[in-house]
Amino acid sequence: MEQLKAEKIGTIVARDFRTAKIFTEYGLDFCCGGGISISEACQKKGLDEADLLRKLEGLDSRSKDLRFSQMKPVELINHILEKHHRYVEETLPSLTLYLEKIEKVHGELHPELAKINQLFSAAAAALTVHMKKEELILFPFIQSMEKAKNERIDLPKPYFGHIDNPISMMEDDHAAEGERFVAISTLSQGYTPPADACQTYKVAFAMLDDFEKDLHVHIHLENNILFPAARNLYKELMPATSELN
């Protein structure tokens, strides 16, 4: 238990994905904020550390969920594209429509809806560009690295220089979206619709809640599993370049 509480949250989730649900229940960010230990996180949030540790240790190690950390980079990229990029693409149009509608109908009594709509609109635009950068630049290069390793062929140096350059940009984008959704969650009282909310209002907030949860998993898979694997692969294939950066 002593060793577990000193581990970084992101590392724990990378090892056993089921722990993500427990951290979410305690309001702990395992993606953008996954770089701190359980002890640090509990201290900051005023949580019962012993209770959290008991729940984590109570997971049955014989029946773990899909172990994303054991996937090859290309397999993980395919999962991210099929599960998370597709989710964002399919959800943005309807959620944007609902938020615009409830702002028009309920905005006078609930002025926070204007800010929520503004923040989500900015997130939608940023995520659309972000995903295209991954799909057209970073992910194909990671795939080419895995192919070069498997086929033992030379890997040309990418036009963007060191792999840290695009990865750092993606990590900065992730941090920005994490902060944006903290603001949305705060404005919406944790996605709790008011007493006078219509059905569209309730659906919009439920969808926002689900969108943020999916985004946390999406960012976690990239920040804590895919990107470290890609950096290691680049170092293995291009050691001279890695030493210079």
- Per DSSP, helices labelled H in 16-161 are 19-25, 38-45, 49-57, 73-79, 86-106, 112-133, 139-151
- Nearest of 208, 175, 202, 183 to residue 112 by alpha carbon: 183
pLDDT of res. 241: 58
Pairwise CA distance, residues 157 & 229, whole Å? 18
- Amino acid identity for residue 10 in this structure: G
The alpha-carbon radius of gyration of the chain (Å, integer) is 20
Taking the CA atoms of 115, 132, 83 and 13 in sequence, report the sign of the dihedral they define.
negative
Cβ 226 vs Cβ 76: under 8 Å: yes
Q: How does pLDDT run across 130-163, given as a tens digit for each residue? A: 999 999 999 999 999 999 999 988 888 888 989 9
Q: Higher pLDDT residue, 193 or 10?
A: 193
Q: How does pLDDT run across 188-217, given as a tens digit for each residue? A: 999 999 999 998 899 899 999 999 999 999
- Residue 24 structure tokens: 């979410």
